[in-house]
Chain A
Amino acid sequence: MIFRRRAEPAASEQPERAAGYGLLASAVVALAPLVAGWPWWLTAALGLLFGWRFLMLRRGWPAPGGLLRVVLMVLLVALVWRQYGTIFGRDAGSGLLALMLALKFLELRRLRDYMIAVFLIYFLILVGFLYSQAPWLVLYLLAVFVATTATLVRLAVPGLRGRRATRLALVLLVQALPLMLAMHLLFPRLPGPLWGLPQDAYTGLTGLSEEMQPGSINELSQSDEIAFRAEFPGARPRPAELYWRALVLTRTDGRRWTRAPESVVQLRRAADSTALLYTLTLEPSNKPWLPALELPARVPAGARLRTSFVLEAPQPVRTRMLIEMSADTRHRLPDPDPGERAATLALPAVSARVAALARELHAGRSDAETARAALGHFREQDFYYTLTPPLLGDDPVDEFLFESRRGFCEHYAAAFVTLMRAAGIPARIVTGYQGGEYNPNGRYFIVRQSDAHAWAEVWLAGRGWTRADPTAAIAPERIEYGAEALRRLLAGGTRPGQLPAEGVRQALALGWLEGVQRQARLAFDAVQNGWQRWVLGYDLRRQRELLAAIGLGGLNAARLLGVLALIVALLFGAYLMVTRQRAPRLDPVQRAYRKFGRRLARVGLARAPHEGARDYAERSAAARPDLAAELRAISAEYLQLRYREHGDAQAFVRRVAGFRPRRRGVSRRRPGPPENSRR
């Protein structure tokens, strides 16, 4: 016999055109969310390549030749290289992947090419998640996922089209959900990335700067980006109490304020029942600082506490983090040692005017009174709070105090600390966030980048480090009502600190539409917060907690994988059971008739597959005259029920149940083999 091997793909190996359109559509929708981050030429190249593919499908355009494809490939890789300086990492990698997919589309011939294209689309869906994990994007990409899977189904099963392919894709998806959940919860998480991530993974992350230079920028960031959310399960603090401490800036050259090296300290007092407990959901900032409500009463696992009571994560925060925190207002910062004291007094040469003002404020007053007097100076003199202050020159503090007198928190904090140090009082700048928007839907505060704040701390004998916020003196609305309210007051032409409380409330009252908008925004944010807490925030630590809660704590990764495999196998077995029970869907009459056949087979009278009920009964009756009457009666009744659909099904079932033929001798007759070949 000659065995012919298939050289060319058989007809079945070449997918139909409809699947071609489906695949193209899947690719385009999967790429859509990524377009915003790409340079124009990349989008244009993709548009051209996909357009060509479309015309290949629509108008029968020829596929570009192999040489052209290679040239295009080399050219596009070179362009990506030129754009990003690499071909790896999230940005360059996703661009390259999209181009590869588009090029693959020009050489779709065999089923294999189509399958690879589908798999690449799955990868691009994942890339979409690396850019954003917003719930609406997830819904969108889920729809893309279903459409892509429907295309895959269509490729594998040419007999399934359109809606039926989508339905099968959905069935598979729904059935895979329990398995997904098991794998998600139990697959061992790693503490860090497998290899160093290229820096572009974190571009676009905003966080607090490590230094401060008042007067160097003339517009404060008004980014609405969320820095973190803080959920208070118990009583909620007043906004004015919400000082989120992130960094302490001690060193200065008169213009720039930077951190001083600090050692790690231990908390002397353990958290007690009076501590305020809250959960921080920190957005990635690519910075290690963990903003903590003053003052931290517990150091979260893995974090470090510095001398100035700022909390620091071991690595920059690059993924959303959930941290259980506690704060205690009765805590006291440790007193400075001599070195620290010297550092918090150090001041480069200040102008004569500044030195004179410091002397004047300090004259005849205690340190505490001096601080109060300095705050009073800001309030009583002609100082303005503005978000758009003029730029300052070489001696910004002097210029601010005596000339411009316009600034925001940084200017006031820097000027205040300079005055204190000039008067011989240890002082330093604290930066972080202040306030936040309360969301009653989830009982948490939303703190945005625009809530960033700088204030001061002075060391007073007998009281230790004490917070002094000059902004609160000049613009109390900033602290009472928050940064957003202050912005609106300023936009409305109100000068902060001048209106009575009633007037401020009136000025801040929201119109009806604004109120609804705000409610909607908060409700939406609550959804997002839940999503982040319960879905996105699942990491190594959460996994450990969960495992400990279900009694699997202390399992190493290999064991955990074993447990996971077991659970997956059990789920699979359960599915198998369910489907097996469902497989033979016989009505009671048919089941009873089968039983009848089985009982007869036991006495050597098996029914041949081709044999009808009547023939079977006659043949059996001939073989067993003793049973003939019963055999004929049962099959007559069966035929009645089955084909005429009248009679008593229950009685039939009972009759069969009572039919128990006995074996008689060795009369083992089997039906002859069916005639199914011509000889």
Chain B
Amino acid sequence: MTTAGQVTIGPRAIFILPTRHGITFALILLALLLAAINYANALAYLLTFLLAGMGIVSLLHTQRNLLGLTVTVTGADPVFAGEAAAFHVCLANPGRERLALRVEAKGLVPAHLDLPARDTRCPTLAVPATRRGWLDCPPFVLASHYPLGITRAWTRRVRLPAHCLVYPRPAAESVLNFAEAVEGEGTSGAHREGEDFAGLRTYQPGDSPARISWKTLARGQGLHTKDFSAQAAESVWIDWEQFAPHDTEARLGLLTRAVLEAEDAGLLYGLRLPGRTLDPGNGAAHRANCLEVLALHDLPAPR
């Protein structure tokens, strides 16, 4: 049963075949049967048939291990090309405990999990992000070798709409010299000339240590961050045209690198791309905006 965004595994969506071990098991069964026939030994027959019966019964257990699970996928946090996007495949179990489940996608390391009764678990499916842009969650299957390892049940391919934004891979070496862009300043993140001290505010996690007001801390007044007014600061422009000799992807890599460095440096930075300009800004949201624009530059809109 499929509704948007979720799939419930019905009996018709499950396939079962013997595993490689199952084929070995079948050969052993055949050898046992031959021994039983040859020695006309009733107990040998019984043992053979018991094992065969268990093989058959295990098909049922294998199927039941997947039956009724509800699958949803939550999108992954953005990653840079070259990293792995972590999609969370959430399995909701309406019934008894399910064991030794695997989430398998072609070419990926499968995720393993045990699912307690009436519980939901979200193992991570790590998908290598090779290209910038939108990365779709690849179709995957749920599979299991439960209970004897001789049978494998797997579901029809589950294709759920989940996406991960992949930023361009940042260029390897720093190309932008902010010292040129901002007169007389390094990339330390400390107070720069051209910015005005605007007062103290309470420290918040993520604030640059260079801006902590050590004096007030020493006075026992707690952690404070020195706030500088950036209004007066000169902003940097990270501009497509600066990297003219390179091709598009290389340029985007360089621009990405520049955005990261500018953000790290605590600068105000703006981004200029053909047809798109982001005014100078600073902070996580601005950085994310810039990176998204770079990621989606010149790409068709996602399906």
Contacts and interface: CB of A to CB of B under 8 A. Distances in A.
Contact of B32 (A126, A149, A679): A126
Given A173-B50, A676-B75, A676-B162, 5 more contacts: A126-B35, A176-B57, A180-B46, A193-B38, A194-B37
Interface stretch (B21-29, B187-195, B226-234, B249-257): B21-29
B99 A157 contact: yes
B41 A676 contact: no
B149 A145 contact: no
Interface string B1-35: 00111100001000000001100110010011011
Given A157-B99, A536-B42, A172 B54 contact: yes
Nearest to B100: A157
A535 B100 contact: no
Contacts of A125: 47
B147 A168 contact: yes
Contacts of B25: 115, 119
14 contacts: A1-B107, A2-B107, A122-B32, A123-B35, A156-B146, A157-B145, A158-B100, A168-B147, A172-B147, A177-B53, A184-B42, A187-B49, A584-B94, A585-B95
B299 interface: no
Contact of B60 (A145, A183, A195, A572): A572
B51 interface: yes
A608 B3 contact: yes
Contacts of A273: none
B56 interface: yes
B48 interface: yes
A319 B38 CA distance: 11
Contacts of A519: none
A319 B130 CA distance: 69
A632 to B, nearest CB: 24
Interface stretch (A3-11, A304-312, A336-344): A3-11
Interface in B122-158: 128, 130, 134, 145-150
Interface string B88-117: 000000110001100000111110101000
B273 interface: no
A60 B145 CA distance: 29
Contact of B149 (A6, A111, A538, A585): A111
Interface of B: 3-6, 11, 20-21, 24-25, 28, 31-32, 34-54, 56-61, 64, 67-68, 70, 72-75, 78, 94-95, 99-100, 106-110, 112, 114, 128, 130, 134, 145-150, 161-163, 165, 302
B224 to A, nearest CB: 34
Nearest to B42: A536
Contact of B11 (A115, A189, A195, A580): A580
Contacts of A677: 75, 161-163
A197 B42 contact: no
A193 B73 contact: no
B130 A2 contact: yes
User: 5 smallest A-B Cβ distances: which pairs?
Assistant: A3-B107, A156-B149, A176-B53, A179-B53, A673-B4
Nearest to A116: B24
A575 B72 CA distance: 30
A391 interface: no
A2 B128 contact: yes
B38 A183 contact: no
A130 B44 CA distance: 8
Nearest to B32: A126
Contacts of A679: 134, 163, 302
B149 A201 contact: no
B37 A190 contact: yes
Contact of A172 (B11, B58, B106): B58
B163 A183 contact: no
Interface in A189-224: 189-190, 192-195, 197, 201
The CB with the most chain B CB atoms within 10 A, among A126, A176, A576, is that of A126
Contact of B5 (A127, A145, A160, A674): A674
A129 B44 contact: yes
A674 B72 CA distance: 11
Contact of A583 (B28, B39, B67): B67
A35 B85 CA distance: 57
B43 A119 contact: no
Contacts of B128: 1-2, 4
B148 A10 contact: no
Contacts of B165: 678
A572 B99 CA distance: 22
The CB with the most chain A CB atoms within 10 A, among B37, B46, B60, B134, is that of B46
A158 B144 CA distance: 12
A87 interface: no
A133 interface: yes
B49 A180 contact: yes
The CB with the most chain A CB atoms within 10 A, among B21, B41, B73, is that of B21
Contact of A129 (B24, B41, B75, B161): B41
Nearest to B98: A159
Nearest to A129: B43
Contacts of A156: 100, 145-150
B88 to A, nearest CB: 10
Contacts of A133: 41-43
Nearest to A578: B60
The CB with the most chain A CB atoms within 10 A, among B36, B59, B75, B148, is that of B148
A305 B154 CA distance: 63
A634 interface: no
Nearest to A183: B49
Contacts of A123: 28, 31-32, 35
Contacts of B37: 190, 193-194
